[in-house]
Structure 1
Amino acid sequence: MRHESGVEAAVEKEGGELLTAWLTGLVRSRDYGQLAQLRRTGTETSAHIRAGWCGPREQREVFERVAFLFAVYHQGRSVPSYGHGSLGAAARRIGDGAGRGPENPGAQRLFDRVVASRRVPWRHLQHTVARLRACDQHPPSWARLAEDLVRWHDRKARIAYGWSVDFHAPEKQTKRKDPTT
């Protein structure tokens, strides 16, 4: 049993990295046609199908929808962003001069809707990615996002909880007090 879950985790990680490599390649090669196909909803395009091939068969929808989120973020961009951190860490960057993350009421409300959902909150994830794009902030790691969403319903993984911890993490201290003074 342990061996199987380890193999599944390796496949998921490889899938997220494979998806990210393919998507960033589309941006670098300026393949705006396939990126536009990925932004279409309601129809299965060849680009969606290719994105789904990056993951296990039973997780095709997750990979197709992460590709959609990637394409939304990269619309009109010529440089790909691999992103970094979890969705919670990325949502912490949403906001303006008045505050970001938990200090920004709009970001807080949006994030609360994401983590309160029992189902994968696709619509709220789309809004989160659109807000990151509008704020000119880095997205979450696309590979990690795919991996997290594959495990969304795994109670032991506690994805929403992990994202919440990252979102509400205390600010890093920029100045350390000298202990000798």
Structure 2
Amino acid sequence: MTTTGKGLVTSESSAALTAWLASLVHNHDSASLAELRRPRVLREPHFRALWYSPTEAQREVYSQVAFLFAVYHQGRSKPTFGYGNLGEAARRIGSETQRGPANPGAARLVDRIVSSRRIPWRHLQHAVARLRACDQQPPSWARLVDDLNRWHDRKARVPYEWGEAFHMPPARAVAESPAPSSAAAALQKETTT
């Protein structure tokens, strides 16, 4: 297990996949990245992505995240590891005036993603393409792998977490919460006595 910047733990296999994908961008291996963007024709880079999958059942996720990574990095010279979950990343979709939940297209896209019973690969591709077009950071690739591997785990509640991260404003720190007004404090004192 590897810890990310926010203290979230990602699996070693998802971190290893991300490191390998980042090395393709760093080393300007555009041929391998182009191959990963062609998911219908399996070649060496596809099988390399599958090597990182710890189980047979997780292979599709590793392969598809490699595809999404390659889509995002098309024409880029520096790797982007991303941050946050997909819901947090989708808050960055849009223009300066309409970003995240204020952007109707982004809101519809996230609603389609989080309401899907099966992993919504086509909508995820669209979200990554929108982030790329807006020149915004993608989600953490390692976390995306782990989240998608837990998609059907009802206790993990991945779609709910993504929807909440997109639609809810970021939590404020306790220090930022306003102090109760003197009237509110007096009212509270009267009700307790």
TM-score between the two structures when normalised by the length of structure 1: 0.88
Larger Rg over CA atoms: 2
Return closer, same or farther for 1:159/1:171 CA change in 2, 3 Å cut-off: closer
1:105 and 1:138 map into 2 onto residues whose CA distance is 20
Q: Which amino acid aligns with 2:95?
A: D
Deviations 1:130-166 (A, max 9, x none): 0000000000000000000011111111100010111
Correspondence for 2:45: 47
Shift of 1:94: 0.4
Q: Which amino acid aligns with 1:134?
A: A
1:178 and 1:123 map into 2 onto residues whose CA distance is 43
Say which SS state the counterpart of residue 125 (structure 1) adopts: helix
1:22 to 16, 20, 23: 20
Q: Which amino acid aligns with 1:39?
A: R
Please list every run of 5 or more consecutive structure 1 residues that lacks an aligned counterpart in the other structure: 1-9
Correspondence for 2:185: none
Please list every run of 5 or more consecutive structure 2 residues that lacks an aligned counterpart in the other structure: 1-8, 182-193
Say which SS state the counterpart of residue 155 (structure 1) adopts: coil
Percentage identity across paired residues of the two chains: 60
Q: Which amino acid aligns with 1:162?
A: E
2:129 and 2:148 map into 1 onto residues whose CA distance is 18
**Structure 1 vs Structure 2 CA RMSD:** 2.0
Correspondence for 2:191: none
2:16 and 2:39 map into 1 onto residues whose CA distance is 22
Q: Does 1:167 align with 2:146?
A: no
Q: Does 1:149 align with 2:148?
A: yes
What number of residue pairs does the alignment pair up? 169
Shift of 1:41: 2.4
Q: Which amino acid aligns with 1:13?
A: S
Q: Which amino acid aligns with 2:47?
A: I
1:89 and 1:13 map into 2 onto residues whose CA distance is 20
Relative contact order: is structure 1 or structure 2 higher (C-alpha 8 Å, sep ≥ 6)? 1
Correspondence for 1:64: 63
Deviations 1:39-98 (A, max 9, x none): 002121211110011112321111010000000000000010000000000001001122
TM-score between the two structures when normalised by the length of structure 2: 0.82
Q: Does 1:104 align with 2:100?
A: no
